[in-house]
Structure 1
Amino acid sequence: MKTRLLSLAVMVGMGFSAHAVTFNSPDANFIDSANSIGMTGETWETPEYVSSAMPHVYKFTHSYTLHKGQFVQELEKGKPLDLEQVQVEDFDGPLSVMDFLRNRMQNHNAVILKDGKLVHEHYGNGMDQHSPHLDMSVSKSFTAMAAAIAVDKGLLNWTDKAVRYVPELKGTAFKNASVSDISDMRTAVVLAPGTVEKYWDVRLSNAQGYYGVEASKPYPNGTLDFFPLITERQDYAMGEKYDYQDVNSELLGLIVDRATGKSFTEILEKELLQKVGVGADAYFMSDKKGLAMGSTGMNMATKDLARVGLLFLNQGKNQQGEQVLPAQFVEALWQGNEQVRSAWKKGKEAGLADGFYKDQFRLLEIGKRKILAMVGVNGQVCAMDKQSNAVITLNGAYPMAETPRFAVMQFHQLVPTILDALDRV
């Protein structure tokens, strides 16, 4: 009952229609059940519990339900790709792709599309094609998609200073940042040092309530209380260096909220997911004040993530030919520009591959391929390749964050092997 009343209050207070996203409180029944095995808001991300948590993380926090529409895009089946028969080379010799995925990458789900057709899908860890899975930093790409739609509607401008939309930034390290600087991760602000287990500024996670509502108590205004804490920048001109920092994605989400007068999750629901034709509701985690977690909040079905990936092989159009994402935005992700290419070379990911980071997407040049990717830290990825006209979507729970080993497994071993196999199908 409390959840329903809170949902109604949020919809009325933010001007939502009766069919808009629904704002939810943490799921008390689920939390009690999780606690019975020692899994809490504070422990779910540890190696012991992360696999068990992945289908359910949004239940620990406030969240939005992004409702699917009446239209569901059915995926025609293509010639199957048998991952048991495709081999990937590792340091100790060849393994089947399926073995490599499940046992070395800790993969749960995979959906592979070629020419818009379904050629492979598997689901594990108690999930099926409709089950949500935490997408971690794949969420960042969705935040940018919401921003792109707002820009296309004339409600936001990439070249504007962020302070136009968030005046509270005047005394912070973001005071001279443009919306584009923030979206491209080119602010190079100084954050508090993290730890080996949590390499980011945990004050952000606590302010959001990412590890449960208890951790957010010192931050009465939620995420808004974190931004003023960031007052220093690295010794680079604004826009000069790529430095991957969650705070940029959170700020981008806030900018979209301020520019449009509503949660950016409503844009994602109505203007993106329902037009794509997703088959299941998605859930986007939020702080207690209703600011969605732009860097890590999306929980959606792996098959639906693949459906979204098709937009980037079709100039932003869905399979009915409707322009869902601005064509200029999609093309810019594939082409980049001199600013983002130069900034990439100054960042720590330049050793992984040539390429760039633009608007919360990576473009990696590996071999003769250009792979556009939404990437999450534990094995969440949606990789698009024009050469093979393919989408590879993975969700998993690799127990360590940001390891060179995993990055190489994912983008130098697994994805190219699958794409090469698709070229032979």
Structure 2
Amino acid sequence: MKTIASILLLALPLALAHQAQAVEFKPLDNAFVQQSAAFGVTQDNWDHGAHAGVTFPNAYRFTPHMEISLPVDVNPREWPERPQALLQLTAADLDGEHSLEVLLRDRLKNHSMVVLNKGSLVHQHFWNGYGAGQTHLQMSVTKSFTSLLTSIAVAQGKLDMDRAIIQYLPELKGTGFEDATVQEVADMRSGIGVTFSEGKLWDDRMTEAQDWNGDSKYPDMRGVMDYANTLDNHRPIGKVYDYLDVNTELLGKVVEKVQGQPLAELLESQIWGKIGAQQPAKWMSNRNGEVVASGGLNMTTRDLAKVGEVIANKGVSQQGERVIPAEFIEALFQGDDKVRFAWQQGKESALATGWYKDQFRVLDIKGHKFIAMVGIHGQILVIEPKSQTVIAMNSGFGEMEPPRMAILIFQQIIPAILDKLAQDKA
């Protein structure tokens, strides 16, 4: 007769086979940093636009990072294929019409694009030495992932977005965040004031706290909370959409506080292990393992598309498992008067009718209303619920966010693809 102990020992390997691997801290890849320095690329300048074409697929190697593993028994379903000649479509640049291949490859320095429609793979390409199984820095697309983890905490009853942020992070008392709600922080309506460093869209003091360009040079900036405690208001709270990374960093801190776990572990257990991801993700961090909640995720373009597929399917995965709360996606897509008004006060209102809510943009362009996750230098995930279309792309454009790049992507290329797929009745 088998003893209870022997039965448990036999069952243990089976149980472990269905668990995710532990998130693992990976230190700086010194050998790669030295190899890069021989080509003039250093920790100080790896994120410069001139280097983005080669550094973004290798970004996590320039900083410490947390590796987010797959379930041991992962066996993701492959998409059925229904190829469409999307690169032969045309759209306009300032000098007239060109094929999407020319606009993407030659003018936007695109590395990859994966397009899904009604659950089928209709297009994928990988250029510039970038492969289907290779991760790519997503920059501010990361913000939307931090928000997805926030939505799960809300659905679990652990977080109230209408409460003041200091009720979760009392360390912020006396700062510009003191009177802002969690929702206002999530919507970039906190009213906080930040002075950008010259030639950048962020304050170097924050990226120093994140070891983004090597170990921090500021001894009093050992984490983003140290940085946040230096900030004050410069706009009315709740009234203006003002896009600042520190809002996302604090949103991530709130989630960690109510969940009692680091963001990387939450991403692995709540999202990555459920969407059918095919490769581990890398989340860049400082030396203490504090991830960059506003811009440090590295993942493959195909896995990015899988996240879009879940959103397009109202939060349910390929395997039929609820991943993202349906109520969150619906509220995001519908918006509200507060975010509509705030959008109109911001600079992005010139690009499109829309709003920014919960770290996502919702845009209405040329008859297409879609959700957009956006990162500088050309990182994009677009979801159009009506047509069940997902467009994931990664790029290495040489400037951060010039108007021409935004116009080409959002007013030309994306509408051309959505128009084409709207004609396909399959």
Are the counterparts in 1 of residues 46 and 62 from structure 2 also a CA contact under 8 Å? no
What is the distance in 1 between the residues matched to 2:56 and 2:35?
Answer: 15
Contact kept in structure 2, 1:363 and 1:372, CA below 8 Å: yes
Say if 1:73 and 1:279, in contact at 8 Å, map to a contact too: yes
One-letter identity of the residue aligned with 2:317? N
Amino acid at match of 1:353: A
CA displacement 1:229-286 (0-9 Å, x = unmatched): 102x1231x2111111111011111111111111112111111011001000000111
SS at match of 1:176: coil
What is the match of residue 387 of structure 1? 386
Alpha-carbon distance in 2 for matches of 1:345, 1:135: 26
Residues 2-401 of structure 1: pairs in structure 2 closer than 5 A: 19-69=21-71, 70-195=73-198, 197-213=199-215, 215-219=216-220, 221-231=222-232, 233-236=233-236, 238-401=237-400
Q: Give SS of 1:121's match.
A: strand
Letter of the aligned partner of 1:165 in structure 2? Y
SS of residue matched to 1:417 = helix
Summarize the Cα distance change of 1:235–1:270 in structure 2 as closer, same or farther, 3 Å threshold.
closer
The Cα of 1:33 is off from its aligned counterpart by 1.2
Change in 2 beyond 3 A, CA 1:194/1:221: closer
Cα distance, 1:19 vs structure 2? 3.1
Q: Which amino acid aligns with 1:422?
A: L
Per-residue deviation, residues 136-194 of structure 1 (Å, max 9, x unmatched): 00000000011111222222221121112211100110011111111111112111233
Q: After superposition, what is the alpha-carbon deviation per residue over 1:9-39, rounded to whole angstroms, capped at 9, x for unaligned?
A: xxxxxxxx99321112111111111112111
Residue deviations 1:79-101 (CA, integer Å, cap 9, x gap): 21123321112222221111110
- What's the secondary structure of 2:273's corresponding residue? helix
Q: How many residues align?
A: 405
How far does residue 125 in structure 1 lie from its aligned partner after superposition?
A: 2.8
Separation (CA, whole Å) in 2 of partners of 1:185 and 1:84: 35
Gaps of 5+ in 1: 1-16
Aligned 8 A contact 1:51 1:397 in 2:
yes
Q: 1:85 to 1:389 in 2, by over 3 A?
A: same
Equivalent position of 2:10 in the other structure: none
CA distance 1:348–1:316, change in 2 (3 Å): same
Whether the 8 Å contact between 1:383 and 1:393 is mirrored in structure 2 is yes
How far did 1:393 drift? 0.4
Deviation of residue 67 (structure 1)?
0.6
Which amino acid in 1 is paired with 2:27?
S
Aligned to 1:204, what secondary structure does the other structure show? helix
Give the secondary-structure state (helix, strand or coil) at the position aligned to 1:203: helix
TM-fit CA distance, 1:66: 0.7
Q: Distance in 2 between matches of 1:149 and 1:116?
A: 24
Identity over the aligned pairs, expressed in percent? 39
Deviation at 1:75, TM superposition (A): 3.1
Give the Cα–Cα distance (whole angstroms) in 2 for the partners of residues 142 and 310 of structure 1. 14
When normalised by structure 2's length, the TM-score is 0.92
Q: How big is the alpha-carbon RMSD for the aligned residues of Structure 1 and Structure 2?
A: 1.5
C-alpha displacement of 1:217: 4.7
CA distance in 2, matches of 1:189, 1:84: 42
Shift, 1:73, TM fit: 2.8
| Alpha-carbon offset, residue 291 of structure 1 | 1.9
User: Partners in 1 of 2:59 and 2:134 — Cα distance?
Assistant: 12
Equivalent in the alignment of 2:14: none
Unaligned runs of 5+ residues in structure 2 are 1-18
- Amino acid in the other structure paired with 2:235: D
Question: What amino acid is aligned across from residue 168 of structure 1 in structure 2?
Answer: E
Q: Tell me if the contact between 1:186 and 1:243 (Cα under 8 Å) persists in the aligned partners.
A: yes
TM-score under structure 1 length normalisation: 0.92
SS of the aligned residue for 2:261 comes to: coil
The whole-number CA distance in structure 2 between the counterparts of 1:155 and 1:23 is 27
User: What secondary structure, in the 3-state scheme, does the structure 1 residue paired with 2:173 have?
Assistant: helix
Please tell me whether the aligned partners of residues 28 and 64 of structure 2 are also in contact (alpha carbons under 8 angstroms).
yes
Summarize deviations over 1:338-370 as a string: whole Å, max 9, x none. Answer: 111111111111111111001100000112111
Give the 3-state SS of the residue equivalent to 1:48 in structure 2: helix
Q: 1:72–1:278: 8 Å Cα contact kept in structure 2?
A: no
**Counterparts of 1:235 and 1:152 in 2: how far apart (Å)?**
31
Aligned partner of residue 57 in structure 2, secondary structure: coil
Higher Cα radius of gyration: 2
**What letter corresponds to residue 112 of structure 2 in structure 1?**
N
Q: Is the 8 A contact 2:20 2:268 kept in 1?
A: no
Report the residue type matching 1:192 in the other structure.
T
SS in 2 for 1:289: coil
| Counterpart position of 1:417 | 416
